[in-house]
């Protein structure tokens, strides 16, 4: 029987894991690395690169490279790379396909099913898009699990004998989730979830990039945002600067030959951690609101939290750790590797689905992160007011759940009723997110308010919503299926996309280390000047010659030298 794997499909990096010997194990990719970049790039000949080589090309070929597409899940946005156009589910499917191949190579067996994690604050459209991506990648995705719930599972697996209340702060590349949970005798009960689906480490990078751009504009009178390649290099420099400021109080940035106007300029500056945190202050404020909302929904004061768990790469930033400590009055824990915790938890959920003995005493519950309801028209002071939000399933409800509310017609002899479905927390529907609409027909023609209709919302463990409407007088029931919503692919579109992916020329997995070494070296070559640049150019030429020789042993030897030399040069720039 093929094992079920757990996949953390991240904004910046993705991972695949499996429970082996009772322990979650993150599987390596073709490079021997645990983290696979969520990046796709298309080369001149149409070959599609996924992972590290694609990410390296983001600075040298930004117009042919896609990053951060997880944020586009559930939308109609597409990316055009060379001659190919991709939706967010298609780009995500390419990453999932790479993880599937890596898992099959590591485990020596075919992989057909996966548990995939999503941010707790992903709505119905985004979860459906994630399932589409799994389908396109050839994976059966019967279970979708919230990221902080996955982290709690990984943590709870090692603390089954403890009783405590904990909060998981998950700051990933593009999303932020906060989940409050209780662990008691192997039962992990999620009590509340909140978050921001458009706030993560990428936003901290973007803010630093804006700070650098302003510094360069003031000091050198150049606009580094006017050229797409210059902007991409500044953005990469900002990401590296953020990482260095986690360890140092001050760090410098030097960029050579940035394309500006009709020429090129070399620029440099330095930034202190205090200056960076001042620029990040609005983002840190945005982190606080979901934390307080989650506490309120759980009915807990911060002092009642026993442990604070940090997951996600961005939680390495000292300002986030300080925010957590000041909010809860205790030092946060990194009991699990921040980058790996979610994937590890996904593999625990996969093992639960398989019925593995190692996790037979683990039970997990989850809650609905959003309130779900419909638009209604209400009569107020003799006036009919449309567009009011009527909740049916409240946020914080333990799932799976089914809730029903009774509504009535509002006009005499009304035979049709349009149901508009929304998710959100606002009183007016226009301020919430529309999920779809459909019309209930064949309602008996009676007076206004005389024909009741029961609307039932059923929300499953995957965060997928089904809706039934029953005309009470005749028992006629219709089920709502969202056929076309932004970002949701129809069956015909899925078939066409699946056929299109089969036609793509994917770079062979076995030669990925070679392509990655070249891409990383080329990205660094752009940053250098003088003797160091010339020396790296010679190393790249030597590796290109080795590739031409097709001598496997020589290729491995020269590639090792190039990788080591590239890494040494990169360290010297920090």
Query: Of 72, 104, 147, 339, which one is the catalytic site residue?
Result: 147
- 3-state SS assignment for residue 65: strand
Contact call for residues 174 and 198 (beta carbons, < 8 A): yes
Q: Which of 70, 72, 339, 527 is catalytic?
A: 70
For the packed helices 228-245 and 512-527, what is the interaxial angle rounded to 10 degrees? 100
Taking the C-alpha atoms of residue 300 and residue 152, their distance in angstroms, rounded to an integer, is 18
Determine the Cα–Cα distance for residues 257 and 230; give it in Å rounded to an integer: 9
Nearest CA-CA partner of 386 in 394, 374, 378: 378
Cα–Cα dist 85/76, whole Å:
12
Return the closest-CA partner of residue 323 out of 294, 281, 276.
281
Cβ atoms of 170 and 149 closer than 8 Å: no
Task: Find, among 260, 277, 283, 206, the residue nearest to 237 by Cα.
Answer: 206
Q: Across the strands, what pairs with 36?
A: 14
Question: Is 425 a catalytic site residue?
Answer: no
Backbone angles phi, psi at 291, to 5 degrees: -65, -45
104 belongs to the catalytic site: no
Q: Give strand pairing partners of 406.
A: 454
Strand blocks (E) in 238-298: 250-260, 263-272
Token code pair at residue 483: 């056929």
Alpha-carbon span 68 to 88, nearest angstrom:
9
Distant-in-sequence, close-in-space partners of 397: CB < 8 Å, separation ≥ 6: 367, 368, 403, 459
- Tell me, yes or no, if 43 is annotated catalytic: no
297: Cβ–Cβ under 8 A, 6 or more apart, which residues?
Answer: 180, 191, 192, 194, 395, 396
Question: Would you tell me the crossing angle of helices 124-136 and 88-107 to the nearest 10 degrees?
Answer: 50
Cα 513–Cα 514–Cα 516 angle in degrees, nearest 5: 65
| Catalytic residue from among 43, 102, 124, 170 | 170
Please indicate whether residue 297 is annotated as part of the active site: no
- Which of the residues are catalytic? 8, 70, 147, 170
């Amino acid at each position: 029987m093929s094992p079920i794997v757990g996949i953390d499909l991240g904004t910046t990096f993705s991972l695949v894991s499996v429970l082996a010997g009772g322990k979650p194990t993150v599987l390596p990719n073709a490079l021997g690395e645990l983290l696979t970049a969520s990046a796709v790039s298309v080369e001149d000949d149409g070959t599609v690169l996924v992972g590290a080589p694609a990410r390296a090309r983001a600075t040298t070929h930004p117009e042919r490279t896609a990053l951060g597409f997880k944020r586009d899940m559930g939308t109609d946005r597409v990316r055009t790379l060379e001659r190919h156009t991709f939706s967010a589910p298609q780009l995500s499917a390419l990453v999932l396909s790479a993880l599937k191949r890596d898992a099959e190579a590591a485990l020596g067996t075919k992989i057909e099913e996966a548990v995939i994690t999503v941010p707790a604050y992903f709505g119905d459209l985004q979860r459906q898009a994630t399932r589409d991506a799994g389908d396109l990648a050839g994976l059966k995705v019967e279970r979708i699990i919230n990221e902080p719930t996955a982290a709690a599972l990984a943590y709870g697996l090692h603390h089954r004998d403890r009783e405590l209340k904990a909060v998981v702060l998950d700051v990933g590349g593009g999303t932020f989730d906060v989940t409050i949970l209780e662990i008691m005798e192997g039962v992990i009960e999620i009590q509340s979830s909140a978050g921001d689906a458009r706030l993560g480490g990428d936003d901290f990078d973007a803010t630093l990039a804006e700070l650098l751009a302003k510094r360069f504009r003031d000091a050198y009178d150049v606009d580094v945002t006017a050229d797409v390649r210059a902007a991409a290099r500044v953005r990469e420099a900002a990401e590296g600067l953020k990482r260095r400021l986690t360890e140092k109080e001050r760090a410098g940035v030097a960029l050579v030959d940035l394309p500006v106007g009709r020429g090129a300029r070399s620029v440099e500056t330095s930034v202190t951690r205090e200056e960076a945190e001042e620029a990040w202050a609005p983002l840190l404020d945005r982190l606080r609101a979901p934390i307080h909302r989650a506490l309120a929904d759980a009915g807990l004061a911060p002092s009642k939290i026993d442990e604070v768990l940090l997951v996600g790469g961005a939680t390495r930033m000292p300002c986030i750790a300080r925010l957590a400590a000041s909010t809860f009055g205790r030092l946060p824990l990194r009991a699990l590797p921040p980058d790996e915790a979610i994937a590890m938890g996904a593999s625990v959920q996969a093992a639960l689905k398989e019925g593995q003995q190692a996790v037979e005493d683990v039970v997990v519950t989850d809650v609905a992160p959003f309130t779900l309801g419909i638009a209604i028209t209400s009569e107020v002071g003799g006036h009919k007011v449309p567009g009011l939000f009527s909740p049916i399933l409240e946020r914080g409800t333990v799932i799976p759940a089914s809730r029903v509310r009774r509504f009535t017609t509002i006009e005499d002899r009304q035979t049709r009723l349009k149901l508009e479905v929304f998710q959100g927390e606002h009183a007016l529907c226009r301020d919430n997110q529309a999920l779809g609409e459909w019309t209930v027909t064949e309602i008996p023609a009676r007076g206004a308010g005389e024909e009741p209709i029961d609307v039932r919302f059923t929300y499953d463990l995957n965060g997928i919503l089904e809706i039934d409407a029953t005309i009470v007088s005749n028992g006629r029931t219709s089920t709502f299926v969202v056929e076309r919503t932004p970002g949701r692919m129809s069956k015909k579109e899925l078939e066409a996309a699946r056929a299109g992916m089969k036609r793509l020329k994917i770079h062979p997995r076995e030669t990925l280390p070679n392509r990655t070494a070249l891409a990383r070296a080329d990205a660094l070559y752009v940053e250098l000047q003088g003797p160091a640049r010339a020396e790296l150019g010679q190393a790249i030429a030597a590796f290109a010659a080795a590739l031409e020789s097709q001598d496997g042993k020589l290729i491995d030897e020269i590639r090792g030298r190039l990788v080591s030399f590239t890494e040494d040069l990169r360290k010297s720039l920090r």
